[in-house]
Amino acid sequence: MWKLLIVFAIGALVACQRNTTNQESKIDANIIALEDSIRLYRQKAFESEKIKLENAAELLKEIEQSIPIYDKTLWIETQQKLASMREAMYDSISMGDEKVMDNYDRKTAEMLSSLERLIQKTPDFYKYARAKLLYEEIKFYDNSDFKIRKEYNAYASEYNDLIRKGKISGKKVILFWGEPTI
């Protein structure tokens, strides 16, 4: 009888340990997935800005080389605003800084506004397929910024909450300044 109780107790203990191990494995997998999401959305944010900058430079080059009539003064202004935007670009540390992000977003809006005025003053702009495509991609990536930053912040906030609650240890993740979480 004692042997049966001992075997039963050992079986129950092993089952509890397996359950705890399964729960810990699920938590570990969730943390890994959360960290992957944070990396993915941070990468998406930087890639989106890189493409926007590259396409704007390519579009200005395309206008200069392929479109015979355009406002040269406005083209120069847009080129200068693009250079200013590039200089103001944030990085993985400064993305949490209010002044840096406000400055970058302002410079981006100024460049886009100048680019839109240039396009409006360029006769037959939309007949040039490559120029049109570059402009549409610039607008697409600019419109994606808010969603990407917002989703990044949601994952980063969830991760930071786990650290704050003591469920995991580690360094808190920097949030995009001024972007709400989902």
How far is 5 from 3, CA to CA, in rounded Å? 5
How far is 156 from 175, CA to CA, in rounded Å? 7
Tens digits of residue pLDDT in 73-82:
999 999 999 9
The average pLDDT across 65-89 equals 97
Q: What is the pLDDT of residue 23?
A: 54
How far is 92 from 22, CA to CA, in rounded Å? 35
Kindly tell me if the per-residue pLDDT of 25 is higher than 80. Answer: no
The average pLDDT across 123-128 equals 96
Kindly tell me if the per-residue pLDDT of 21 is higher than 80. Answer: no
Kindly tell me if the per-residue pLDDT of 98 is higher than 60. Answer: yes
pTM of the model: 0.81
How far is 156 from 172, CA to CA, in rounded Å? 8
Nearest C-alpha neighbor of 120 from the set 153, 64, 74, 152: 74
> What angle do helix axes 2-66 and 98-120 make, rounded to 10 degrees?
40
Kindly tell me if the per-residue pLDDT of 27 is higher than 80. Answer: no
Tens digits of residue pLDDT in 129-178:
999 999 999 999 999 999 999 999 999 999 999 999 998 988 999 998 86
Kindly tell me if the per-residue pLDDT of 121 is higher than 70. Answer: yes
CA 120 vs. chain centroid, Å, equals 30
Tens digits of residue pLDDT in 100-117:
999 999 999 999 999 999
